[in-house]
Structure formats: structure tokens, C-alpha cells
Amino acid sequence: MTEIIDHVLTARAEPATMESLEAWWRHHQQWARRFTLPVDRAMAGGFAADRPAYAFASGFQETLQQLVAQPRDVPTAFCATEEGGAHPRAIQTTLSAAGGKLRLQGHKTFATLGTFVEELLVVARRPERDGRPALVVVRIDAHRAGVSREALPPLSIVPEIPHAELHFDAVVVEPEEVLSGDGYLRYLKPMRTVEDCHVLAAVVSWLVQVARRCSWPTSLVEDLLVVLTALRSIAGLDPLSAATHVALEGVVRQTKALIAATEAQWALVDPPTSERWFRDQGLVDVAATARARRAEVAWQRLSGCASD
């Protein structure tokens, strides 16, 4: 624990200029490889970033490392969302046997970093022996035959982060590329909670870097470190646990209050950095409604008001 906290307190708070995703990825690897835990790597990458978008990207990549133990040197996208969303009932992409091979067929409408990555984690339906469909996740090369990617327009926040629509046309999948475990319970369901924790850790680490670089009051740095310590602890908990959801909601609320308390300090920050922050700080509120609902349900379960 002390190693990553020491890092964000003592490492040089002068990020290299990152004018492309390729530059971000090189710097993320350079700093993240010094640490083992994905949440620590997210913090290291976030601290090294020159803007919120690339802090987010570091947190997102380490989310997938935490979720599926992906190779650390391969940028990856998680492909779940379809026309009806990412709920299990909305997943129409299929993995089925045809011609003696497993083949992936379907369409994903939104994948973060989808045009940049080298690997894809794709959520699909697979018929079981009793005829009932089950969800699985497959890991495939983004350049494989039958995979096509179409860039989507930039979003209003973190526009440096590309998104893509993906099509899978009879893509061959090897048996060993089907990840072990239930695709819903092991990957899809916990994804949002794991992402919230790791992305927030990366963004708060980026704020520590700005605070140190621009001589903000030490009390603000201390408060940011409290949040980082809490997030690091939550990252080690079961992402399906009710207690995890309650604790994460509390830390998010603390973070938002702390962000509000920093408002006057942005006058000390160089204009490009402050302008990006005011454009992108909505990152903290992404999926806020869903997160609040998870916390509400978690409280009900903890109070014995909802069945498992």
C-alpha cells in the first residue's frame, strides 16, 4: 500500500505531453509495470497522465486486468453493449459451432477504445446442452478475419478517447479463447463496479499530480489520499457484494464533495489543463443513476429487505 502512495507523493509531478493514444499507452506501460495490483497500476497511470482522458484510459485498461487477468502489454476493449443495452436479455451476439469451428456472429454498438485496441473481450450467447442460452466472454484479436470496426463520433467529455461500433461475421474462435466462468456473473455483472473503482482511482491520482504541480494546499492533497486509500481497499473486495456497493457509493460522494472544494484552486493551473478538467469532470458522474440504484438495493439486502 505504501509503495503506490509514496509514488504519488514523491514522483515527479510533471507529466510528459501526450498528443496521441499511442503516446499515452507508452507512458502507461512505463509507469504501470512498476506495480502488481491493477488498482495500483491504475493510480500510477493516472498520475502520469497529462489530461483526464488519459487518466480515464489507464483506469479502464486496469479494470480489464482486474476483471480477466488480460496480458498487460495489449490494449483491450470490453464489448457488451448492443441495440438494447448491456443487460443479459439484450445480448444477441452468439457463439455457436458451425463447420467444426466455434464462430462469433453479431453486432456491438459501443466499445470504449474500440478503434485503438489490439484485443477484444466480447460478451456472447452460447447455447447449452439443455437448449438454454448462457453468456460467455471470448478474447480475440481485434484484427481477426470477420471483425470490422467503425469509429463513432467523439463524445462531449474525454473526446480524445475513441469509441467504435463492431460487427462480427462468422469470426473463428478457438476453444481456449473462451474465458472460464459464467459470462454474466464473472464478467458482465461486476464490470461496472470494477470500472467505477479503477477509473476513479486513476482520476483522483491525476488530481494529486495537479495539486502537487500547482502548489495546492497540502490539506487537499491529504484528503485526496484518503480517497485513494479507500478506493484501493474497495478494489480488493468482492464486486458483487452489497457492502462493496455501499462503500463505493460513499467514496464517490466524498470524491464529488472534494472536487467541489478544489474549485478555487483551478485558477493556479495552466489553462489547457484546467479547461480539460472542467470539460471532463463529468467522468465522476458517468452511470451515477445505476450506481445509486446498486447502493439502494445493497442497503435493502443488508437490512434483510430483499431476497438474494
pLDDT digits (tens, 9 = 90+) for 85-138: 999 999 999 999 988 899 999 999 999 999 999 999 999 999 876 656 799 999
Contact 174, 164 (CB under 8 A): no
CA distance 301 to 308: 7
Work out the angle at residue 296's Cα, subtended by the Cα atoms of residues 134 and 87, and round it to the nearest 5 degrees: 25
HEC letters along the chain: CHHHHHHHHHCCCCCCCCCCHHHHHHHHHHHHCCCCCHHHHHHHHHHHCCCHHHHHHHHHHHHHHHHHCCCCCCCEEEECEECCECCHHHCCCEEEEECCEEEEEEEEEEEECCCCCCEEEEEEEEECCCCCEEEEEEEEECCCCCEEEEECCCCCCCCCCCEEEEEEEEEEECHHHECCCCHHHHHHHHHHHHHHHHHHHHHHHHHHHHHHHCCCCHHHHHHHHHHHHHHHHHHCCCCCCHHHHHHHHHHHHHHHHHHHHCHHHHHHCCHHHHHHHHHHHHHHHCCHHHHHHHHHHHHHHHCCCCCC
Amino acid at 58: S
189-245: per-residue pLDDT in tens?
999 999 999 999 999 999 999 999 999 999 999 999 999 999 999 999 999 999 999
Average model confidence (pLDDT) for the chain?
93
- What percentage of the chain has pLDDT greater than the value 90? 85
Going from N- to C-terminal start, the domains of the chain cover 2-67+186-302, 76-183
pLDDT of residue 127: 82
pLDDT band, residue 1 (cuts 50/70/90): low
Residues 6+ apart with CB under 8 A from 72: 29, 32, 33, 41, 65
Q: What is the pLDDT of residues 153-174, one digit of tens each?
A: 999 999 999 999 999 999 999 9
Site of grid cell 486513476: 202
Tell me, which fold does domain 76-183 have in CATH? Butyryl-CoA Dehydrogenase, subunit A; domain 2 (2.40.110)
Q: Quote the pLDDT of residue 2.
A: 82
Segment 16-38 shows an average pLDDT of 95
Gyration radius of the chain over CA positions: 20
